[in-house]
Chain A
Amino acid sequence: MRKISILGIGETKMGRLAERSLRDLIQEAGNKAIVDAGIEKKEIDALYVGNFNSSYLCGQGHMGSLASEALELGNIPTVRTEGACASGSLAFRMAVMGIQSGTYDIALVGGVEKMTHRNTATVTTAIASAMDYELEAMQGFTFPASFAMIAHRYFHEYRDVKREMGMCAYNAHQNALLNPDAQMHKDVTLEKILAADLIASPLSLFDCSLVTDGAAFVVLAAADAARGLRAKHRTIELAGSGHAGDTLALASKPVITSFAATKAAAAQAYFQANLKPQDIDFAEVHDCFTITQIINTEDLGFFEKGKGGDAVAEGITALKGKKPINPSGGLKAKGHPIGATGLSQIYEVVTQLRGDAAKRQLAKADIGLAHNLGGTAGTCVINIFRGQ
């Protein structure tokens, strides 16, 4: 299979950017990635854009064409991907397959979302379209409620990890303080996190990720094609990639305290990379809710089933721990611009592997993993990157 390198990365600051247009966000992040890659626009063979729900939230569809026009990419082919919160890394995955097939040598991949200009109920409705509308949303389900139900079941099958969930949020906020692109720069205490109002029991405010506007882009290329280009950074190779699916509805899953899509995608990515969970130095995992982070770290094989909370309590997942999770601040504190989230995670992994993460730079960053989950774990994309 053709080897793939990540040539360039770019992102906007994440946050409440209601006054900025989709076009504007795409231009900033896309042009940063192209400049960072040190390539000419005419060298880009294809564009893939992840976007979840701008059709509903912004009245804007046909995102591939919009992004291509915004970035002045001429007549190259464009594709928009949608897989709920995994839309961004689905775009990445499609670009990888486009290059591996030999069809393209260099692809630009981006993700974008604008959400904060709409009120909370409208945003909740828009996000709820990523669950089964008829069977779940019409029974009053929201995404916080779906993951709250997962949390209650986890408490029942293993143990109550509400405090450890709070510690996940605490770590996320501490890491985000060191990330200039993060939406929240807030030094919150664990006591305040644990005392916050309930959103959907047992999840309270700080257990939930943010509503975010933002865009993130990466340039990837076949390693053989990249060799002729001037290397600006440490070479980052895609060591392994996995993509798996599962049922849309939560009630249809035989087990809800572990995500089958994560396990299947992880098995593919580890096999392709010829690596084991213990070989991964750090990971950006999909912490749409704090309970999700704990479950993800178990499903990825970092910790035993039911012991993810213990690892958080022992400080293993903190920035200076043995297995740092979400050094960027994660969806919880860097932000969750849905269609851009998967690329924003890859942006952080590449930044760490290059040694460019400044105050939040990890001591050891040679192999990093990005885990992106869509909906109630109906879609999962995992990518493992290695610095050469």
Chain B
Amino acid sequence: MKTAKIYTYSILFSSSEEFQDKVPYLSAILEMDDGQRFASLIEGYRPDMEIRIGQEVKGIEKEENGAPQFSF
């Protein structure tokens, strides 16, 4: 399973209409080993977690709209 590192992130307490049931949630820009970056919501965030730049996240099986999903 591929992994990525958190390039930068934010924990959202206010969202657009579509994500209101997920608040608070973690979105980030992830960086792959080859330097490629992309935006990704990170599944499985809990308010007691400490998040930092450089932290590793893993690709998970679940795919939504054909896009890969990431979690801890």
Contacts and interface: CB of A to CB of B under 8 A. Distances in A.
Interface of A: 120-122, 124-125, 128, 132, 135-142, 144-145, 148-150, 152-153, 156, 197-203, 249-252, 256
A139 B53 contact: no
A152 B28 CA distance: 11
Given A156-B8, A198-B11, A251-B38, A125 B18 contact: yes
Nearest to B53: A156
A124 B15 contact: yes
A306 to B, nearest CB: 16
Best-buried of B14, B19, B28, B37 by chain A (most CB within 10 Å):
B14
B60 interface: no
A85 B25 CA distance: 26
Best-buried of A139, A142, A150 by chain B (most CB within 10 Å):
A139
A124 B12 contact: no
B13 A140 contact: no
Given A149-B9, A152-B10, 10 more contacts: A125-B17, A125-B18, A132-B39, A140-B25, A144-B12, A148-B10, A152-B9, A153-B7, A198-B11, A200-B13
14 contacts: A121-B15, A138-B67, A139-B41, A140-B19, A140-B25, A145-B27, A149-B9, A149-B27, A153-B8, A198-B11, A199-B12, A249-B39, A250-B29, A251-B7
Contacts of B7: 153, 251
Q: Does more than half of chain B's interface fall in helix, strand or loop, or is it mixed? A: strand
B10 A135 contact: no
The 5 closest A-B pairs by CB, nearest first: A148-B10, A153-B8, A140-B41, A149-B8, A251-B37
B60 to A, nearest CB: 14
B25 to A, nearest CB: 6
Contacts of A153: 7-8, 53
Interface in B1-58: 7-20, 22, 25, 27-29, 37-41, 53
A121 B28 CA distance: 20
B8 A120 contact: no
B65 A140 contact: no
Nearest to A257: B8
Nearest to A122: B17
A200 B29 contact: no
Nearest to B27: A140
B53 A140 contact: no
Contacts of A150: 8
Contacts of A144: 10, 12, 14
Contacts of A145: 10, 12, 27
Nearest to A120: B14
B17 A141 contact: no
B8 A199 contact: no
A152 B41 CA distance: 16
Contacts of B40: 139
